[in-house]
């Protein structure tokens, strides 16, 4: 496969950035990118890729939160320890459960409370498999079709997150897969990155997101993050103050003929 990926991460008004992203690709050599601010790269002749975005969750019922650690620990463990298991779709519920237990155990060790959302994608030349826990948005653009994979954010209360002691990760996580198609685009983001693109009726401004991703030159993720910071939130004169992270993956070539 030939893939172009762009990433951007900008801290909001909080004292620490509670977002985290990472990617790992497999070919003759393997690369790992985590954290950072801006990244754009073209990867040719790779066999598979794993990418993830996490957003630390503020839990109002517990005063000692370490959400930036939760996001980083989750992404790094997924990429370093669970990377090869992700090749087997049947293993994904077990991966989600392991990540949930990891955060719970880490919380006990640190004597605090850690929680995070997670949106991850696993791509090989046959298909793309998406896994998510929480409301960090994932989007697929397939030709003229625009699909928000994750549910719309309908309230400030988040039920599903890693680090939840009352559920297992496999119960809280959702999975969906698509055949891999040339020119498909996948967007992984934290809710802050897309907050300014919601319209007053609660739906996303698909035309504007498509324009940024498909028509604007330069780092597409950086453009998305920049414009999201310039726009007012729907129906207000306020701008987004949350951390904003986006990863955009474009499938340029695949190594088998498609109908």
Confirm if 167 and 115 have CB atoms less than 8 A apart: no
pLDDT at 121: 94
pLDDT score for 164: 83
Quick check: 53 and 88 in contact, CB under 8 A?
Answer: no
Smallest Cα–Cα separation from 240: which of 188, 197, 199, 210?
197
Which residue's entry shows tokens 């620990």?
73
Is 0.85 topped by the overall pTM? yes
Q: Quick one: which of 35, 11, 13, 32 has its CA closest to 23? A: 32
Residue 218 — pLDDT band, cuts 50, 70, 90?
confident
Residue range 192-217: mean pLDDT, rounded:
93
Residue 76 backbone dihedrals phi, psi, to 5 degrees: -65, -40
Q: Could you give the dihedral angle defined by the CA atoms of residues 170, 88, 185 and 242, in that order, rounded to the nearest 10 degrees?
A: 30
Query: Which domains can be identified in the chain, with CATH numbers?
Result: 2-191+245-253 (3.60.40.10)
User: Mapped to the 3 state alphabet, what secondary structure does 27-87 carry?
Assistant: CCCEEEEECCCEEEEEECCCCEEEEEEEEECCCCCCCCECHHHHHHHHHHHHHHCCCCHHH
Helix and strand numbers (H, E) in the chain are 6, 12
**Residue bearing the bigger pLDDT, 33 or 241:** 241
Name the pLDDT band for 38 (thresholds 50, 70, 90): confident
What digits encode the pLDDT tens for the residues 11-24? 988 888 889 999 88
Q: What is the C-alpha to C-alpha distance for residues 250 and 229, in angstroms, rounded to an integer?
A: 23
Burial tier of 161 (Cβ tally within 10 Å: 0-12, 13-18, 19+): buried
CB 23 within 8 A of CB 49: yes
Would you put residue 202 in left (φ > 0), alpha (ψ -120 to 50) or beta?
left
Q: Which of 6-15, 42-51, 138-147, 158-167 has the lowest mean pLDDT?
A: 158-167
Answer whether residue 99 shows pLDDT above 80.
Answer: yes
Pairing of strands 145-148, 138-142: antiparallel
Task: Cite the DSSP H helix spans in the chain.
Answer: 67-80, 92-110, 169-172, 191-194, 206-210, 220-230
């Amino acid at each position: 496969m030939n893939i172009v990926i762009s990433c951007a991460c900008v801290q909001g008004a909080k004292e620490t950035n509670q977002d985290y992203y990472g990617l790992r690709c497999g070919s003759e050599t393997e690369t790992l990118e985590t954290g950072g601010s801006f990244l754009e790269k073209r990867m040719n002749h790779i066999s598979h890729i794993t990418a993830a975005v996490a957003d630390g969750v503020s839990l109002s019922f517990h005063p000692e939160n370490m959400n930036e650690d939760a996001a980083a620990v989750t992404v790094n463990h997924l990429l370093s320890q669970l990377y090869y298991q992700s090749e087997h779709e049947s293993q994904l519920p077990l991966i989600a459960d392991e990540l949930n237990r990891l955060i719970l155990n880490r919380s006990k060790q640190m004597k605090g409370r850690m929680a995070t959302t997670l949106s991850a994608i696993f791509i090989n030349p046959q298909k793309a498999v998406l896994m998510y826990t929480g409301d960090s948005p994932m989007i697929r653009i397939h030709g003229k079709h625009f699909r928000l994979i994750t549910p719309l954010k309908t309230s400030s209360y988040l039920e599903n997150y890693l680090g939840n002691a009352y559920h297992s990760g496999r119960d809280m996580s959702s999975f969906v897969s698509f055949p891999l198609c040339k020119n498909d685009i996948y967007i992984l983001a934290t809710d802050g990155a897309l907050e300014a693109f919601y319209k007053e009726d609660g739906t996303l401004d698909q035309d504007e997101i498509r324009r940024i991703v498909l028509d604007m030159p330069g780092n597409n993720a950086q453009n998305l993050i920049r414009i999201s910071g310039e726009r007012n939130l729907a129906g207000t004169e306020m701008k987004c103050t949350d951390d904003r992270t986006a990863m955009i993956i474009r499938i340029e070539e695949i190594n088998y003929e498609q109908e």
